[in-house]
Structure 1
């Protein structure tokens, strides 16, 4: 059984659908195996890129069970918990544990903009009701609640709250977390366009989006950065940036699915109310992808990078 270290690259996996809106497990296998071949360190199911808001709970749990069975312990399986109430979040955490998940990624309460005390109480209640390790998802840009350093001071009392997906868009937050807490929390960059900067400032890992289409390039940047081969990492990162910017667009799900389709490990189908881009929008995104594919970098050396 693979050990969860909260270090390395963790794809926020897409949820592929068929044309008639069923989960496409054949395509899911493709989108799962490619990052594994590239050397990722775990997978995350049911996140924003996994269209969590569109999945039924039973679909999310079935994906966890399917992944756990298919992976056979090769890498940890992390399930996202994004609920509106504390009770529902606890139930989701318990069900994830029953389904064999290795850990949880936990968002603040959805829809209701909880204050600091309410948010801490919510996180602590979930932590107290599961034995699974937890990564807090700190994304005030999209979810309107910031988990401050003072809040993390309180969360540190829960031993199974172990990591943070750092998506504040403020690189200095990596340093602030390390200065305040040392190695108490592992920090994983959650914004593709700031990933290398975060790694160089001490982040332990990368919860990645474009990894779903370009797994080798993503793992290469991580491994080269951690091996101190900065110039090589920067070269790949600069090539990657137009693609990585697809991750910070409101239609990141549609755009990254188009990229995964272009590289042969995904499909474009999304669940309504999302729709597949058309016309000028589709042409613009496909051009970004095609331009990148035309000059895709050589990556053979990264496999030998000592992390």
Structure 2
């Protein structure tokens, strides 16, 4: 049952048409772009996909399409786990489980919707595992919305010991927590994949199995190089590590709309329409387009340096 859901794991965007429908042609271009730029696993129907703003029908179809477009070249994992009530969660997870994905990713705050503690988490986990096919690999995601619900060590071990979990998108944003979880995981096959750019390289050196932060939507190839060379003693590695950490600080300036502007520039998307970023980012976030220009220039310079070094 164990699959590899690790490495560079883009948190996929959802392209929309100007009239607010999913742009399936844009999605096809996006999948090809991810794979061409070093993606090892695709994470569809996550927060970056605007899953809280997608109907169940859209979440299911989006997951199916990504599986079809990936065509077995890389694993596809999906979440879509957004509902409050157990009945609604059961319906959405059962539907997502049938989309052909390699692993179904549970959201930690949906396992404890009222932040009541470990017993609520355990009860929800037991119920969900009883609903789902026993041979379906699972993942966990400490999604920040509607609130960031970090796993305790005991909860992590509870999930590990089921033998069902293959990946954790770690949103602790804390290197010591990553190190502790790597040690707790041991040889269980439960991969810790850090999502914070500021600690990306240090987390890789500490045993994080890749990276799954939002700037996998901007320069996944640079993260892929960093993952392979995280322990290399070179100026290129050290300088890239700093650039990636600083570039990712642009996230509060209108993400995911920010990334959609990037992909419109690339030609991947025809529209920057977003259900989450429902405003003009250039009006609200002063000089954001100039910042994107700098990120683009820095990205190209590091690509050239990597090419020269290889």
* TM tier relative to shorter chain: 0.7 to 0.9
Asked if 1:210 is matched to 2:215, the reply is: yes
Task: State the TM-score, normalized to the length of structure 1.
Answer: 0.87
Deviation at 1:222, TM superposition (A): 1.8
**What is the CA-CA distance between 1:94 and the residue it aligns to?**
2.2
Find the residue that maps to 1:14 and give its secondary structure: coil
Once the two structures are TM-superposed, the CA of residue 156 in structure 1 deviates from its matched residue by 2.4
Match of 2:78 in 1: 79
Deviation of 1:250 (Å): 7.6
In structure 2, the residue matched to 1:32 is 31
Partner of 2:4: 5
| Match for residue 123 of structure 2 among 110, 121, 124 | 121
Cα separation, 2, equivalents of 1:138 and 1:303: 35
Structure 2: runs of 5+ lacking an equivalent: none
Q: Distance in 2 between matches of 1:272 and 1:298?
A: 31
Number of aligned residues: 301
Aligned twin of 1:160: 164
In 1: Cα distance, 2:173 partner to 2:7 partner? 20
Instruction: Check the 8 A contact 2:11/2:49 in 1, yes or no.
Output: yes
Does structure 1 residue 147 correspond to structure 2 residue 146? Answer: no
- 8 A Cα contact 1:82 1:108, kept in partner: no
Q: Is the 8 A contact 1:246 1:256 kept in 2?
A: no
Equivalent residue, structure 2, for 1:245:
249
* Residues 58 and 277 (structure 1), Cα distance of their counterparts in 2 relative to 1, 3 Å cut: same
Q: Which moved more, 1:10-19 or 1:27-36?
A: 27-36
Which residue pairs with 2:267 in the alignment?
Answer: 264
Output the aligned Cα RMSD.
2.7
Equivalent residue in structure 2 for 1:276, among 258, 276, 280: 280
The aligned counterpart of 2:100 is: 100
| Residue 51 of structure 2 corresponds to residue 52 of structure 1 | yes
Residue 265 of structure 1, CA deviation: 2.7
Q: Per-residue CA shift, 1:121-164, capped at 9, x if unaligned?
A: 22333233233211211356962422100111222231112321
Instruction: Give 2:183's match in structure 1, choosing from 173, 179, 185.
Output: 179
Shift of 1:34: 1.0
Deviation, structure 1 residue 301: 7.8
User: Which runs of structure 2 are paired with 1:213-224 in the superposition (5 Å)?
Assistant: 213-224=218-229
Shift of 1:217: 1.8
CA-to-aligned-CA distance 1:89-134 (integer Å, 9 cap, x gap): 3332322222111112211244533422111222333233233211
Write out per-residue CA displacement over residues 261-305 of structure 1, whole angstroms, 9 at most, x where no aligned residue: 333333421016732324251x42211110122232243686899
Residues 224 and 300 of structure 1, relative CA distance in 2, 3 Å threshold: farther
Question: Do the aligned residues in 2 keep the contact of 1:127 with 1:158 (CA within 8 Å)?
Answer: no
TM-score by length of 2: 0.86
Any idea what SS the aligned residue of 2:139 has? strand
Q: Are residues 142 and 244 of structure 1, via their aligned partners in 2, closer, same or farther at CA, if it must alter by over 3 Å?
A: farther
Q: Secondary structure at the match of 2:154?
A: helix
Unaligned runs of 5+ in 1: none
Q: Tell me if the contact between 1:84 and 1:112 (Cα under 8 Å) persists in the aligned partners.
A: no
SS, match of residue 299 in structure 1: helix
Q: 2:203 aligns with which of 198, 205, 218?
A: 198
Distance 2:17 2:121 in 1: 37
Deviates more, 1:43-52 or 1:188-197: 188-197
1:172 Cα deviation (Å)? 0.3
Contact 1:254/1:277 (8 A) holds in 2: yes
